[in-house]
Each structure stands twice: as C-alpha cells, then as structure tokens.
Chain A
C-alpha cells in the first residue's frame, strides 16, 4: 500500500514552454501533498504544500506564478512549470500524506525536467 506515482518520469522541453507534472496517490486519499525539487547530490527542498481543495502554500523564494500547483482531488495534484528556463531543470518529487497518518509521507518516484 501507500503508493504514489508521478507522470511523466522525465521530460525535455524548450525554453519558454510550460510543463505539467502529475502526482497521484494510488491506494489512499492524500489530504496533503508536497512538492520538492532536488538538485544533483543535494537534498530535497520543499517548494509548496497543498491541501485538497485549497490554495497551495509556497515556501519563501518560490514563485507561485511560475510554479502553479493544483490539488483538485484527494488523489491528484499537479505542478505546472510555466515559461520554463534552463535554470528550472531539476528533479521534481511529490509526496503525499493521509489524514491520521500525517507523519508518514510517501514519495513519488520523481520527474526529471530538462529545459533546453
């Protein structure tokens, strides 16, 4: 149980285009989902927290207009990188937790974004 999937697993796009990444909880209802980015050989940096049906809460320094997060259902959250630039290239990972099991966050496999 407690499986989180992400799609796509990797994406290459041209500078200026937008990219949407999906995060799904497959066997539980994710009341809260988190989005992280990870640079090579570095730890995870929290970008934003989203609760189902509410606006996401962004961490300091993360541009909310650039990284659009939608958590429309208890099993799906999306991250859209708008007008992507090469410096947005990174490994994006989502995690999800269920009410009552809040300390257990289950991570997706990650999405590698390369912006040319």
Chain B
C-alpha cells in the first residue's frame, strides 16, 4: 500500500463546476499537507498548504484536512478551462525534514 493514495482520473467537468480532489494517507505522523498543480511538461506549482486539521481558503481554492480520517481534499469553485492540469497532493512530517511524499496525481479536465 502506498503511503499516499490519489485517484489518477482523468476527472472531466464542465466549466463553472465545483471540483473535488482527494487524497488518503496511511501515516498519522504527517502534519503538513500541500496541493500542487502541474501543467503538462512543467514543474509543480504550490497552490496552498495546511498544517494539521482544518480548512484553508485562497480565492477559488479551499483545502480541507481531516486527520482523524487521514483524508484531505481540494475544492475548486467556478472551475475554468485554465484549471485543466494534474493536481498532486503532498505531505510532510515536520518543518525540519522538508521531505515531501507525493500522491500519484489526479488529472483534471475542465471543458468549456
């Protein structure tokens, strides 16, 4: 079993839809949870990160962490064709080690 599981998709939605992307993990020691967006043949771009459980909102993006269920989500409101990319969740044990453990990524396609 992988430490971080993510449905590979592809997930296809119409423009304007609310998108829900999710990851599950097995190691309760993870404390920092990140979401990255990666366009084809480009490096990942950090969207947002959260520490421990709770919600964080940034514009159209909302990240949720439920440590009791070992489940994290990224919601995208009013999705746009430009949101079409692969979304990677990543996790870190602590602020000192800096090593990220990535999920496999979910490919999202937003159709106009």
Contacts and interface: CB of A to CB of B under 8 A. Distances in A.
Interface residues of A, number: 24
B interface, over-half SS = loop
A54 interface: no
Count class of interface residues, chain B: 20 to 34
A43 interface: yes
Contacts of B96: 102
B98 A105 contact: yes
Contact of A49 (B36, B45, B98, B102): B98
B41 interface: yes
A93 B44 contact: yes
B95 A103 contact: yes
B88 A49 contact: no
A105 B105 CA distance: 17
B104 A43 contact: yes
20 contacts: A34-B98, A41-B8, A42-B105, A43-B102, A44-B44, A44-B88, A44-B102, A49-B98, A91-B41, A93-B44, A102-B96, A103-B49, A103-B92, A103-B98, A105-B46, A105-B98, A107-B36, A109-B42, A110-B43, A112-B41
